[in-house]
Structure 1
Amino acid sequence: MPPSPAAADAFASHSSYASHPDREVHGVRQTKPLPTTVQRWAERRTGPVVAVRDASHDWHRSRVWELTGKGGARWYVKVSPSVKFFTRETRAYRHVVPALGHSRAPHLLNSRADDLALLLTAAPGAPAPGLRLTSVEWRAVHSQAGILCARLHEAGELDRADRTEAEGALAAAAGGAEKYLGRAGDRLTGDEQQLVRDYAAQLRRVGPVPLGYIHGDNQPRNWLWSEAGLALCDFERTRPAARVQDLVILAVTEWLDHPDRKQAFFQSYGWALTDAERQALRCLTALDAVNCLAWGPDNGHPDVTARGRRTLDRLMREDRP
């Protein structure tokens, strides 16, 4: 599933998650209440909570709340949308995220498997898309993102199980093409469907690529920017995979329109992509496009749909002139 849209332009306060205005349906404000059992569980660690704010993404399965204590201290509670995401995120916070360094991500204070709940500290900063940054500031953001992504991708040796999962990641991505093509249906022409199938076949043949731990939703809405620098958040998709998979969203959004940001990222990232990675990245953008065209319209996200259509149109122009 593609990530939900970028954060809104304004942010009422610094947040360790991309905050959205309260959603409205037919003019009525819609918020998600924090389950009482989960709040009581959190308060056993935080002490009494005096304010709760819905800080969820604008997606029906996103459930995140900001908690404020008597002295103004803040924390976040996240209820994962699935056991898989809960397992990935708790493991990431314990074994991968520490490689980012102090203040470069929230910290996991506690987790509760029965409710798929995580209690997190509030990392400094607000999501970059809402800060109206200058071009110079955006380059600085991407430069620091390159540093943090390199740290994440190299966060320890992969054990046997993780290496097996990472080695199969590109084949697994290619294997998802038919599922997304089926969901997208007639949103793609016959020629576009064949283009996606061709790229899926190519992805299976790219050969070895560097492996590591990836963020899984690596884009500015999950980059928190402040005077202290950059921090990352939202690790529910963090997993062992081909490192290049972490660059797909950036390649079809930020870097396509702003090559200077791409240059800043790679200067800090520390190495250039191999030929196999460049080929894999192009194939992955085609799969991202059909994924977006399958998911966006069905979930009411025109910006995700537009991302997929733009990528597919560009690939068709370049490959089927």
Structure 2
Amino acid sequence: MTDPSTSAPALLAWASRALGARPSVRDASHPRENSRVWQLSLPGDVRFYLKVSPRSLMYERETLALRHAAPALGGGRAPQLRASSAEHLALLLTAVPGRPLKQLTLTPAEEVRAHRQGGTLLARFHAAGALSGPRRTEAEQALQAAADGAENHLRTAGARLTPAEQKLVRDLAEQLCTLPPLPIAFIHGDAWDRNLMWSSDRGQAGLIDFERSRFATVVQDFVPLACATWADRPDLRTACLQGYGRDLTPKEKHALKCLAALDAVSCLVWGPAYDDPHVTARGRRTLDRLMAGVFA
């Protein structure tokens, strides 16, 4: 969560210069220690967001995404980068219409519509990155890199997993490394209901928060949805993939299962460490589904 006593005055002065006016300010941070976001408002209900990235890598990733991939989503469907400061790891962004789906209560039909558009946006985003040279190598090695982190997460999680659960995670991590090459792209990295915007007035979806964007395997972009939203709503899975333009291949579906196991362990490390019961519950539920053989 934002600490306004830190460097906020300097940041707000920088943002004011970039906007050419001094805005009114509201803290819009997520309830976690490293989240630093302000909503800036100018007369006429013109809104911007000032975001400070937790780490330089996240700043670099989000800046790249906003400059080279997010514009492909279309007007009003992603933030526009008004200004950036490598010194402060700060981004000054236009607002995207609507609110995150996670904060909304919609009819099932409207949820389906939002997720179908979300799938379309992911397809556009995946097609936007230029895959060449080191970027292609990074993407081709993404599954191996994910599998390599499994043992460290298991060690940290410790007794939160039973011996049988630990064995399952290790087996699925090993299987991830034996898969043939899968489709690769520039992925969002955190595409789920918290970052999928929906404007009921416009009937329009949008995407925000690109700090985890990177070159990787396409299927990695569906892990958050598969481990959370899709568990109870197969209709939203269908809608998202309809919007995306294709179903996952059998090999991608198996990779998704393997990646879900890694995500579960990560959640069981991250959730307790940051006192987030929702993340912890997501990890536990995913593991339970995998152990029961019902993850799909």
TM-score range, shorter chain: over 0.9
Amino acid of the structure 1 residue aligned with 2:96: A
Q: Tell me the percent identity.
A: 52
Q: 1:237 — aligned with what? A: 212
Corresponding residue number in structure 1 for 2:278: 303
Q: Is residue 118 from structure 1 mapped to residue 91 from structure 2 by the alignment? A: yes
Counterpart of 1:196? 169
Looking at structure 2, the residues matched to 41 and 125 of structure 1 have their Cα atoms a distance apart, in angstroms, of 27
Q: Give the residue type in structure 1 aligned to 2:49.
A: Y
Q: What pairs up with 1:1-20 in 2 under 5 angstroms?
A: none
Offset of residue 31 of structure 1: 5.9
Match of 1:149 among 106, 122, 131: 122
Q: Counterpart of 1:110 in 2: which secondary structure?
A: strand
Find the aligned partners of 2:235 and 2:289 in 1 and give their Cα distance. Answer: 20
Q: Within 2, Cα distance between the matches of 1:42 and 1:97?
A: 21
Segment of structure 1 superposing worse, 132-141 or 45-54: 45-54
Match of 1:8 in 2: none
User: Is contact 2:264-2:284 (8 Å) kept?
Assistant: yes
Letter in 2 for 1:154: A
Q: Report the Cα offset of residue 245 of structure 1.
A: 0.2
Residue 31 of structure 1 contacts residue 54 of structure 1 at CA under 8 Å; is this kept in 2? no
Question: Unpaired runs of 5+ in structure 2?
Answer: none
Specify the code of the residue in structure 2 equivalent to 1:116: L
Question: Matches of 1:307 and 1:117 in 2, distance apart?
Answer: 31
Identify the match of residue 74 of structure 2 among 101, 123, 128.
101
Q: Deviations over 1:147-201 (max 9, x none)?
A: 0010011114312111000000000000010111111111111111111100100
Q: Distance in 2 between the 1:213 and 1:66 partners?
A: 28
1:26 corresponding residue in structure 2:
none
1:10 match: none
Following the alignment from structure 1 to structure 2, what is the Cα–Cα distance between the partners of residues 249 and 50?
Answer: 35
RMSD of Structure 2 on Structure 1 (CA): 1.4
Post-superposition shift, 1:72? 3.3
CA distance in 2: counterparts of 1:256 and 1:270, whole angstroms: 21
Name the CA distance, whole Å, in 2 between partners of 1:314 and 1:94.
39
Q: In the aligned structure 2, how far is the partner of 1:188 from the partner of 1:276?
A: 27
The number of residue pairs the alignment matches comes to 291
Assess if the C-alpha contact under 8 Å between 1:48 and 1:70 holds in 2. Answer: no
Residue 292 of structure 2 corresponds to 317
Per chain length, whose mean CA-contact separation is higher, i.e. which structure has more relative contact order (CA < 8 Å, sep 6+)? 1
The residue aligned with 1:281 is 256
Deviation of residue 106 (structure 1)? 0.6
One-letter code aligned to 1:273: L
C-alpha offsets along residues 92-127 of structure 1, whole Å, 9 cap, x if unaligned? 111111111111101001100011001101111111
Between the aligned partners of 1:272 and 1:315, the Cα distance in structure 2 is 21
Write the letter of the residue equivalent to 2:244: Y
- The one-letter code matched in structure 1 to 2:81 is L
TM-score by length of 2: 0.95
* Structure 1 residues without counterparts, runs of 5 or longer: 1-22, 24-29
Q: Deviation at 1:71?
A: 4.0
Q: What letter matches 1:240 in structure 2?
A: F
Residue 63 (structure 1) aligns with: 36
**Alpha-carbon deviations, 1:20-39, whole Å to 9, x = none?**
xxx8xxxxxx8645611111
Q: Give 1:242's aligned amino acid.
A: T
Contact 2:16 2:23 in 1 (8 A): no
Equivalence for 1:260: 235
Given that 2:267 and 2:280 are in contact with CA atoms closer than 8 Å, whether structure 1 keeps it comes out as: yes
The residue identity in structure 1 corresponding to 2:41 is T
Name the counterpart of 1:133: 106
Question: Can you list the C-alpha shifts for 1:53-101, whole angstroms capped at 9, x where unaligned?
Answer: 1111111111110011244321110000000000001011111111111
Matches of 1:180 and 1:234, distance apart in 2 = 25
Amino acid at match of 1:184: A
> Residue 266 of structure 2 aligns to which amino acid in structure 1?
N
The answer as to 2:40 corresponding to 1:48 is: no
In the alignment, what sits opposite 2:266? Answer: 291
Matches within 5 A, 1:25-44: 32=4, 35-44=8-17
